A and B are shown apart, each in its own frame.
With several copies, the nearest count.
Chain A
């Protein structure tokens, strides 16, 4: 037991903070978020070519660095601090994780090197409605063996309008209980993609419409469990990465708001000297610390999960709960922090000019994405208390 960063991890963190301080300042974020693409391709190239973040936790045989999930979360946290705009979460935490979980050797060798080259990717699974697990999949596939055809509408696809590669979840049109994952090029015939403008402009969403999209048999990821459990595990891993980002945002907005209150004077004092302001900051600081523990506990669990054969080990078995705890806690902590920070800023906090609203909107969008606090708490409640409504769910 040694629950602190190693020296190497501290170096990774410091390097990440320094890189993003230079490359993802407020002006850069504002330029990127105003574009439909949503990020600066030069920044993405720098992130890949200089920092190798996109392959941090991808095993070395596929062109990656072979680091762990803790390291990935350190990077996510750093990006969350700066609201850095890049197709990083979608490419790494959604698509690459999907390949690691469900691709066979050949499929990993087919696709992961393309990610390592800097191509972007994402996951499309959500068919609408209020659920954020495998039950949300409504797209369908037909066929078997050599060729499959995909149909359906997908929403809330992160970076879906710009990704080079798509990981698609779909149900067997003949048997709704059979769920599969397909990896394909985004320019495959029959795919229409539409950018959806979002309240949080720093992360882009798209809707996808698939009409008779035909793919070869090997597009179907071989290791995907038909019962949806693989997709749920993928979403758990994504939750942990997203929670790390939220944790970074919580810390950053706290520090920025505190710095502002140290300068701003009212009634002849800095407003930081008012107990109401101090106690708001202290309450955020508490949540920020606990969020940090939640994220890196969950990251350790994810590390063990990905290291062992899936499901082995006491710690690895905690993945669903660890992910739910991290996402529930960090979602609420971030929104709490960003909302209270805006109050600490006072009038300037709700102007476009100051960055407080960017954090506030990001807090809300990442709270909703992959399920909010109540959603994940109910998952945990089911484990502790049995299903709601006496099992009728």
Chain B
């Protein structure tokens, strides 16, 4: 066991930190620390330009193999990259679905032509992606897919009809990957396909969902005979590919997420020192607990990333979502309690929230999207501890 980074890695840290300091300035100064969870709908245009700035510096898709335009960074260096990015206040990446989900999936399951067609746009920050996973009647029950794919002999292509929900960045995106049912007789995870759909066509409509914050990070996306440009793999392989994709989701970027959490915690600590809450015993304990929780989240992630030699990679990974979601929701409540009575007062009418107020409200969704806490607990108990599955109705 070794926790420190070696010299080469520390040099790499200096390099990326330097690039960020030089580039995250000027026109990009305003988007520092913006566009994160609860703020994802803000500064769309600026963040698109920033994505291309990153690409020009060679800082997109740093974990991809070099043959697809990536840097092929080691896990350690990816960790450092994400840490420094968050530390510098790098804005929420509009390209992250393409870079972290669509790209790796295409690399694993796509044909040579598909790789040629889709990867450069992701790599260069010119084509943005969103995901069509959840459906209104499904929620955490991902296999309950009602969206249909029918092969249209006239158009010589699969056509998608149905509705997806909780799709972030849908209105900014050029492409969407969609899980749809290719076999109308099939049930649950059988008979599904994994489709790549151009968002710029008449059959696609995006409707924002207004959340309790008054903002709209998420959308509904309606497909009405929308043309699927490609299918990844074969009809019937949609579930397998979709599950593999979800596997990419838990990765080194979690350490970047944690740096963003650290920024939030730092703001709470500074506020508590300023307004006297730091002298309240309950607040002291809770700030301390939040600090411990975040530090240990980091070491948990490093165990997860260090691989399975200790025999418990799986369990460290299984608990990750439940851990950060619960921790973050508690942090939101802590923020409000440190604010005290001031916490009620908005920045401006009608509903302009401060960052900490937004944190309080938005973190209520953390324990729901991407698998509710209840579903996470089922997964831990069933896969991690071998307990029986829930009976189905």
Contacts and interface: CB of A to CB of B under 8 A. Distances in A.
Q: Are chains A and B touching in the complex at the 8 Å CB cutoff?
A: yes
Interface of A: 1-7, 9-10, 34, 36, 70, 126, 129-130, 155-156, 195-201, 205, 254, 258, 261-262, 264-270, 272-279, 281-283, 285-286, 289-290, 292-294, 296-297, 299-301, 304, 314-315, 325, 328-329, 339, 342-343, 346-347, 349-353, 357, 360-361, 364-365, 368-369, 372, 374, 377-378, 380-381, 384-386, 388-390
Contact of A258 (B285, B377, B387): B387
B388 A378 contact: no
B310 interface: yes
B387 A1 contact: no
A4 B313 CA distance: 9
Interface stretch (B84-92, B120-128, B287-295): B287-295
B4 A315 contact: yes
B151 interface: no
B374 to A, nearest CB: 5
A328 B212 CA distance: 26
Given A282-B380, A292-B303, A347 B369 contact: yes
Given A156-B341, A266-B141, A384-B269, A275 B212 contact: no
Contact of A289 (B284, B316, B341, B365): B316
A3 B4 contact: no
Contacts of A197: 345-346, 348-352
Interface string B112-142: 0000000000000000000000100111110
Interface of B: 1-6, 9, 76, 79, 134, 137-141, 144, 165-166, 209-212, 214, 269, 272-273, 275-282, 284-285, 287-289, 291-292, 295-297, 299-300, 302-303, 305-312, 315-316, 318-319, 322-323, 336-337, 340-341, 343-346, 348-353, 357, 360-361, 364-365, 367-369, 372-374, 376-378, 380-382, 384-388, 390-393
B285 A294 contact: no
Query: From DSSP, what is the main secondary structure of chain B's interface residues?
Result: helix
A283 B384 CA distance: 12
Nearest to B166: A347
10 contacts: A1-B5, A3-B3, A4-B306, A199-B361, A269-B392, A273-B387, A276-B374, A281-B381, A297-B299, A381-B288
A155 B345 CA distance: 10
A4 B343 contact: no
A21 to B, nearest CB: 17
Given A273-B387, A286-B319, 6 more contacts: A4-B310, A289-B300, A351-B211, A360-B364, A380-B291, A384-B269
Contact of A200 (B140, B300, B344, B353): B344
Given A70-B1, A262-B387, A266-B138, A289 B315 contact: yes
B287 to A, nearest CB: 6
Contact of B380 (A286, A290, A378): A286
Nearest 5 A-B pairs (CB), nearest first? A269-B393, A357-B212, A268-B393, A278-B381, A282-B377
A351 B210 contact: yes
Given A1-B5, A4-B307, A352-B212, A270 B388 contact: yes
A347 to B, nearest CB: 6
A1 B390 contact: no
Contact of B1 (A2, A290, A365): A2
B345 A205 contact: yes
Contacts of A274: 374, 390
Nearest to A279: B377
A3 B79 CA distance: 13
B373 A343 contact: yes
Given A1-B76, A272-B387, A329-B296, A346 B381 contact: no
Q: Counting chain A CB atoms within 10 Å of each CB, which of B288, B300, B360, B377 scores highest?
A: B288
B272 to A, nearest CB: 6
A10 B285 CA distance: 36
A299 B2 CA distance: 10
A293 B303 contact: yes
Nearest to B74: A1
Contacts of B5: 1
Contacts of B367: 343
B211 A385 contact: no
Contact of A290 (B318, B323, B390): B323
A266 B305 CA distance: 33
A282 B306 CA distance: 23
B1 A328 contact: no
A70 B303 CA distance: 14
Q: Counting chain A CB atoms within 10 Å of each CB, which of B214, B275, B345 scores highest?
A: B345
A375 to B, nearest CB: 10
Contacts of A195: 349
B211 A350 contact: yes
Contacts of B306: 1-4
A314 B3 CA distance: 11
Contacts of B277: 130
A365 B336 CA distance: 10
A347 B364 CA distance: 10
A276 B377 contact: yes
